[in-house]
Structure 1
Amino acid sequence: MSDFFRFPHTPHIDWLGEGMPRDDKVLNAAEVEAILAHPLRIEEKLDGANLGISMRENGELRAQNRGQYLLEPYAGQFSR
């Protein structure tokens, strides 16, 4: 079994942009109330590179893109 975690879809609690969102999920009032009724952990979303960061049990950091862990030698936009 793989420990790879695919990027989840992140719904909006509220839509503050102009017009309607493209295909993003915006929670309804009942969904927002259900989420806010419990303690939350807020995390920063890294935009633009489809980059995820996780930590192994030994504390080593790992980077991943949409479908795999990034391994050296890095290529493309991750080679810089």
Structure 2
Amino acid sequence: MSHRLCRHCGHSATESVKRCPECGRPLAPNFPRRTGALLVVAAAAAIIVTAVMVVIRDDPATPSNGTTTVEPLPTQEDQDGSGGY
């Protein structure tokens, strides 16, 4: 028969009881180990999907990764061609 521990007093109780026989507090249900494994698989899938989206977005047609080069506007001296001398 399967047992579970009371979170409050640590007493061992069978699966069939709803309350701890020692302290009388309600016992939390035991989740199967599958639930934890499912959570790990879901997290791994989310990480993989995110990584794939990053790779897809890195388009080689835009080598600057979408950034724009900003050059300063020409000054009056540049337009006159005097060079400031």
TM class, shorter-length: under 0.3
Q: TM-score, normalised by structure 2?
A: 0.19
Q: Which has the higher contact order (CA 8 A, sep 6+)?
A: 1
Largest Rg, 1 or 2: 2
Q: TM-score, normalised by structure 1?
A: 0.20
